């Protein structure tokens, strides 16, 4: 690529300049940027910034990539960085990356810069651009969607962790012949961030919900109705909560907390798993804390979730699997309109190599009560 300046939606992509050193050091030294860019020095000093301006960025250009400063379109102050590389010339393919300084976030800077840089790269002969994003970085996932990148899967152990170790990264790509505009989303955000009928409220699970989720999903009666019936570790629940938004944005899984709409107290959890995207099929699951049972809250929660799934999410068919002995769950499903469809013998893993039967229920949109 050639280091041409690019103007786009209030930002300017230009080369780094010596006068950017202080802002570059402050932006790259931000804890969020250091966490999700483990290759950056820590601490990030002005000496590191001057090296990048004088040597690092020019080296990216020399190898066929790009290293742009993102500047405010009005003031020309540095507000971030964006780049292309490493380049796989034989495949006309490259990675794209970006970061935004803390003083410029939530202004659309990353989206504007990513759209502009991707468009420029595709004009310069690239056929495929990739973004590799940490599952606990939903802000970056939203940028990918807004810039027209589509989720393709998981790159196992593709990312390094600061201090050692590796982590999975979510893979997103934009092709030269992809349509313009944002990428479509399978699971849209909830209206006003929640669903409610005045008695129960559903909201997306988040990083602050670890304690209540661990308390719920390690209860013996809840464990007994999952497969395999083994209580999850604290670390697994913590990851579930920290990656809940990424599951939503990739269109694979919507995890929600059930709240008492009057008191705001947690009552349980539920979720929608997109089991077959092409067929428009999803499955639902739910669990309640002991003190919240017997009030019809699970029925209300499943009804709200099913209405959203059939409506904004565009799901055409819902299923729910239960162990045959869980009659309380069967009653919840039947009150919502689910019908028993069959017993799948030995479908689920049990303990010590055993297998569990799965009693399957199904619901179509016109059957929702």
Do 169 and 252 have their domain in common?
A: no
Pairing outcome for strands 355-363 and 317-322: antiparallel
Residue 19 CA neighbour count, 13 Å, CB half: 5
Do 143 and 28 have their domain in common?
A: yes
Do 217 and 83 have their domain in common?
A: no
Q: How far apart are CA 362 and CA 62, in angstroms?
A: 58
Q: Which of 175, 207, 237 is the last residue of a domain?
A: 175
**pLDDT value for 167:** 94
Do 148 and 272 have their domain in common?
A: no
Q: How far apart are CA 169 and CA 283, in angstroms?
A: 25
Per-residue confidence at 2, pLDDT binned at 50, 70, 90? confident
Average confidence (pLDDT) over 270-299: 95
Do 108 and 165 have their domain in common?
A: yes
Domain for residue 60, yes or no? yes
Do 254 and 171 have their domain in common?
A: no
Do 254 and 136 have their domain in common?
A: no
In this structure, how many other beta carbons lie within 10 angstroms of the beta carbon of residue 225? 15
Do 25 and 112 have their domain in common?
A: yes
Average confidence (pLDDT) over 114-135: 95
Do 158 and 195 have their domain in common?
A: no
Per-residue confidence at 317, pLDDT binned at 50, 70, 90? very high
Pick from 270, 267, 207, 268: nearest CA to 239: 207
Do 203 and 346 have their domain in common?
A: yes
**pLDDT value for 245:** 97
Q: How far apart are CA 200 and CA 119, in angstroms?
A: 45
Domain for residue 120, yes or no? yes
What pTM, to 2 d.p., does this model score? 0.91
**pLDDT value for 173:** 98
Q: Hey, is 78 helix, strand or coil? A: strand
Do 196 and 171 have their domain in common?
A: no
DSSP annotation of 26 reads H
Tokens of 207: 């990083």
**pLDDT value for 226:** 86
Domain for residue 245, yes or no? yes
Q: How far apart are CA 60 and CA 267, in angstroms?
A: 52
How far is CA 155 from each of CA 88, 168, 169, rounded to the nearest angstrom?
Answer: 17, 6, 5
Q: Which of 124, 149, 175 is the last residue of a domain?
A: 175
Please state whether the peptide bond connecting residue 86 to the residue before it is cis, i.e. omega within 30 degrees of 0.
yes
Q: Which of 149, 175, 201 is the last residue of a domain?
A: 175
In this structure, how many other beta carbons lie within 10 angstroms of the beta carbon of residue 176? 14
More confident residue, 259 or 225: 259
Average confidence (pLDDT) over 151-176: 94
Domain for residue 258, yes or no? yes
Strand partners, 259: 201, 266
Domain for residue 88, yes or no? yes
Domain for residue 182, yes or no? no
Residue 234 lies in domain: 191-367
Place of tokens 């050692």: 164
Do 196 and 270 have their domain in common?
A: yes
Instruction: Tabulate helix, strand, coil % of the chain (nearest 5).
Output: 35, 35, 35
Average confidence (pLDDT) over 250-269: 96
In this structure, how many other beta carbons lie within 10 angstroms of the beta carbon of residue 144? 27
pLDDT, tens digit, 9 for 90 and up, residues 62-111: 999 999 999 999 999 999 999 999 999 899 999 999 999 999 999 999 99
What is the CATH number for 163?
3.40.630.30
Beta-carbon contacts of 123 under 8 Å, excluding residues fewer than 6 positions away, are: none
pLDDT, tens digit, 9 for 90 and up, residues 37-64: 999 999 999 999 999 999 999 999 999 9
Longest CA span, the chain: 70
pLDDT at 158 over 90: yes
Pick from 181, 149, 164, 200: nearest CA to 308: 200
Q: Hey, is 99 helix, strand or coil? A: strand
DSSP annotation of 65 reads -
pLDDT at 1 over 80: no
Average confidence (pLDDT) over 244-262: 97
Pick from 41, 50, 48, 47: nearest CA to 17: 50
More confident residue, 50 or 225: 50
DSSP annotation of 264 reads -
Q: Hey, is 342 helix, strand or coil? A: strand
Chain mean pLDDT for the chain: 95
Domain for residue 185, yes or no? no
Per-residue confidence at 29, pLDDT binned at 50, 70, 90? very high
Domain for residue 62, yes or no? yes
What is the domain count for the chain?
2
């Amino acid at each position: 690529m050639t280091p041409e300046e690019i103007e786009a939606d209030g930002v300017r992509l230009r080369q780094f300049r010596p006068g950017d050193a202080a802002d570059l050091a402050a932006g790259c030294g931000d804890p969020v940027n250091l966490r999700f860019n483990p290759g950056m020095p820590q601490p990030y000093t002005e000496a590191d910034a001057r090296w990048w301006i004088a040597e690092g960025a020019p080296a990216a250009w020399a190898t066929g990539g790009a290293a742009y400063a993102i500047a405010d379109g009005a003031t020309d102050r540095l507000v971030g960085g964006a780049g292309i590389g490493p380049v796989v010339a034989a495949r006309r393919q490259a990675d794209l990356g970006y970061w935004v300084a803390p003083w410029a976030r939530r202004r659309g800077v990353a989206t504007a810069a990513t759209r502009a840089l991707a468009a420029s790269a595709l004009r310069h002969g690239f056929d495929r651009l990739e973004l590799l994003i940490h599952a606990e970085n939903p802000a970056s996932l939203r940028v990918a969607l807004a810039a027209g990148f589509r989720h393709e899967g998981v790159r196992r152990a593709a990312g390094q962790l600061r201090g050692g170790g590796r982590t999975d990264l979510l893979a997103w790509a934009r092709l030269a012949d992809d349509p313009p505009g944002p990428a479509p989303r399978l699971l849209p955000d909830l209206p006003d961030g929640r669903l409610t009928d005045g008695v129960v409220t559903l909201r997306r699970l988040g990083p602050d919900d670890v304690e209540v989720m661990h308390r719920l999903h390690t209860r013996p009666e809840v464990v007994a109705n999952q497969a395999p019936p083994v209580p999850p570790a604290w670390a697994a629940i913590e990851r579930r909560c920290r990656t809940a938004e990424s599951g939503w944005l990739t269109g694979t899984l919507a995890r929600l907390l059930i709240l008492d709409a009057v008191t705001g107290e947690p009552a349980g959890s539920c979720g929608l798993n997109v089991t077959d995207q092409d067929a428009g099929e999803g499955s639902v699951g739910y669990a309640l804390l002991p003190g919240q049972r017997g009030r019809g809250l699970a029925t209300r929660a499943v009804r709200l979730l099913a209405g959203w799934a059939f409506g904004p999410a565009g799901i055409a068919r819902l299923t729910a699997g239960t162990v045959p002995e869980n009659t309380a769950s069967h009653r919840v499903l039947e009150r919502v309109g689910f019908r028993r469809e069959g017993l799948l013998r030995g479908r689920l893993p049990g303990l010590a190599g055993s297998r569990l039967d799965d009693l399957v229920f199904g619901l179509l949109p016109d059957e929702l009560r």
